[in-house]
Chains A and B, each alone.
Chain A
């Protein structure tokens, strides 16, 4: 394989160097490195933005219903809408939907760990 032949720089460049150079390398056609599907188009980004704005307005409106509906319901609704926005930004703006699943897994691991650990902590401290 290698006796005598001088390798091209590309062949011999360490994985490290490749990685740190941000990948001056040929990815699969049409897709950027790390993608499994193509990124959203600008049009889609704007659509998502509009949805986010509407959901924010709904959230604020819900918060004004304090006193008219039960607190528990407001909390549930607000958490739901916040989750919707969180997921939309993560999936589309942060490309989790179109990138390798590994990114989603690690991020979800952290987010879930935070929720679980701190919920246990607050429960032990009698908040819930």
Chain B
């Protein structure tokens, strides 16, 4: 391409160190791509693989707990599995799935051709993949992390030779999460700059789709939540490996410092996890009710309010640590307050569906299921906010029930709804609706069978994170139900995978706008061309595409406009000629490769690996910096 740098003397050799990859198809194109759509697919597929891995971990846990004094797993194995289950689900499934869907659809929804920093975008993906592989390699290198997904000190921070958590597991955990945090931070910055700077003409902030809005909110949450936990993890690593005394009570250190720093991250983290799901259903419910979102501005501002208030409640994870009456009252009250904007959104979703012309597609079923299941999870959450009650519930299965209802019944249901909604756009084919219904109903049944009994088990006193229970406590029957339910979930996920794989080649052709959608991604072909929009759109209202297709008559009924509809849009054989896109690059991959090497250097305190990792990282960065942007 011609460089536009006439104002400056041409650089002596306008090429990077490696020859610029040019592949458009095939394996190389996937590993050197900077296209947000390919990156989105990579994120989602990777997240789904980790979802299956974490699911298998859960199934093993449930087999162990099927009967009292189970012998399927040892205590040590159990600890590793529940630690990795939680860590994987939060960091390698929940966050990447949102970033993946956001990657694919945020630029489309704002009428952009890509994100602000395409190569950094790809870098972020590699960090997630390598970080995940790094953490899972621990199973083969001395044992996986076993200190819980939250890693409380001083258990995890006690020095290596203290005998508390021998082996490298906790170090894989701290270092792995630090690495993943780097990736998340780069993605967050990318999304914020994209939303602020790259909206198409007419796309004011309050015309952006709610999904985009929620991604913007969580980008800020991510940006500010990752540093505190990074510091906490660094402190744990240093205590364990270099003898620092941050959490050593004998030296005057305070393990609660860790908990504060962790939960200052951890609570916003759960909103980082759920808000994208809320964004997804705010897209699907209007489409499948053929009604605009009820109270768009309120839904957006409630999302912002949740993001904001979410910073003020973290110590509700610490109610039983002896904070004192003033602190727990303040945090308890703040926790109750956050139910308000959440409830507002729920009523707005109900208001959207009410009186609509409803199509019970699989996506809609999942979205409706989200509302119901998330509400249940929210109710148990409100129960937690009552401090005396929480004192009984803490560290029991009641908490496990709560967060699985909001994260599984909430986020995962919403994500599946998003899959059924957006799969046609990504792959040009519809997912099979019959398999979809089977998927939904088995997941709904399996999910409730698994997690509903946990409320009772928790109130009956069954503790979390414990590898076995005794046989005269009366917990056996419900535990068996839970285990059966978990296998029903597994079956449902299998149905989905089959559906996704088979439909890719055999599904009905989708066309641009199979659902009669409202937002900009439905104006372009399925799958979209590399340049997204033949011409950058100009919008004049919220749900602009809908208003191009329909107007309302005097009685408020929809009237189709002849000139609207994406099939009329002048793609007209436009092959993107003349649209230039950023070129692929090797350097995000190479640079990212430096990080796990540095990670191994840290875990095994090996200076040579450190040098190697540093060299790879710096080489990648330098070569990247001198590579022309496009």
User: Interface residues, chain A, CB within 8 Å of chain B?
Assistant: 1-2, 6-7, 9-10, 12-17, 19-22, 24, 102, 110, 113, 117, 120-121, 124-125
Nearest-Cβ distance from residue A33 to partner chain B, whole angstroms: 11
Q: Which of B316-342 contact A (CB under 8 A)?
A: 323-324, 327
- The answer to whether B256 and A125 touch across the interface, beta carbons within 8 angstroms, is yes
B260 proximal to A (CB < 8 A): yes
Given contacts A6-B578, A21-B630, contact A14 B114 (CB under 8 A): yes
List chain A residues, Cβ under 8 A from B113. Answer: 14-16
Given contacts A15-B198, A124-B323, contact A20 B315 (CB under 8 A): no
Name which residue of chain B comes closest to A8, CB basis.
B578
Given contacts A14-B114, A24-B4, A24-B7, contact A121 B260 (CB under 8 A): yes
Nearest-Cβ distance from residue A102 to partner chain B, whole angstroms: 7
- The answer to whether A14 and B260 touch across the interface, beta carbons within 8 angstroms, is no
From A9, A17, A19, give the contact of B197 (CB < 8 A): A19
- The answer to whether A16 and B4 touch across the interface, beta carbons within 8 angstroms, is no
Q: Could you show 30 A-B contacts with beta carbons less than 8 Å apart?
A: A1-B535, A9-B4, A12-B580, A13-B630, A14-B114, A14-B579, A14-B580, A15-B197, A16-B113, A16-B117, A16-B581, A17-B580, A17-B629, A17-B630, A20-B118, A20-B629, A20-B630, A21-B5, A21-B629, A21-B630, A24-B4, A102-B196, A110-B224, A113-B224, A117-B228, A117-B264, A121-B264, A124-B260, A124-B315, A125-B256
**C-alpha gap A121/B312 in the complex (Å):** 10
List chain A residues, Cβ under 8 A from B248. Answer: none
Given contacts A2-B535, A10-B4, A121-B264, contact A15 B630 (CB under 8 A): no
List chain A residues, Cβ under 8 A from B431. Answer: none
Nearest-Cβ distance from residue B205 to partner chain A, whole angstroms: 12
Main secondary structure of the interface of A (DSSP, over half): helix
List chain A residues, Cβ under 8 A from B261. Answer: 121
**C-alpha gap A124/B112 in the complex (Å):** 45
Nearest-Cβ distance from residue B228 to partner chain A, whole angstroms: 8
**C-alpha gap A102/B579 in the complex (Å):** 30
Given contacts A16-B114, A125-B254, A125-B256, contact A9 B580 (CB under 8 A): yes
**C-alpha gap A2/B533 in the complex (Å):** 13
Main secondary structure of the interface of B (DSSP, over half): loop
List chain B residues, Cβ under 8 A from A24. Answer: 4-5, 7
**C-alpha gap A55/B535 in the complex (Å):** 56
Given contacts A15-B198, A117-B264, contact A20 B582 (CB under 8 A): yes
Nearest-Cβ distance from residue A100 to partner chain B, whole angstroms: 10
**C-alpha gap A124/B582 in the complex (Å):** 50
- The answer to whether B311 and A117 touch across the interface, beta carbons within 8 angstroms, is yes
List chain B residues, Cβ under 8 A from A15. Answer: 112-113, 197-198
- The answer to whether B311 and A13 touch across the interface, beta carbons within 8 angstroms, is no
**C-alpha gap A9/B2 in the complex (Å):** 8
**C-alpha gap A17/B34 in the complex (Å):** 12
Nearest-Cβ distance from residue A50 to partner chain B, whole angstroms: 34
**C-alpha gap A12/B576 in the complex (Å):** 10
**C-alpha gap A21/B198 in the complex (Å):** 15
**C-alpha gap A111/B2 in the complex (Å):** 42
**C-alpha gap A2/B538 in the complex (Å):** 14
Nearest-Cβ distance from residue A95 to partner chain B, whole angstroms: 18
Nearest-Cβ distance from residue A126 to partner chain B, whole angstroms: 8
Closest 7 CB pairs of A and B: A20-B629, A14-B113, A17-B630, A16-B114, A121-B260, A12-B578, A124-B327
Nearest-Cβ distance from residue B181 to partner chain A, whole angstroms: 16
**C-alpha gap A64/B568 in the complex (Å):** 78
List chain B residues, Cβ under 8 A from A117. Answer: 228, 264, 311
Name which residue of chain A comes closest to B536, CB basis.
A15
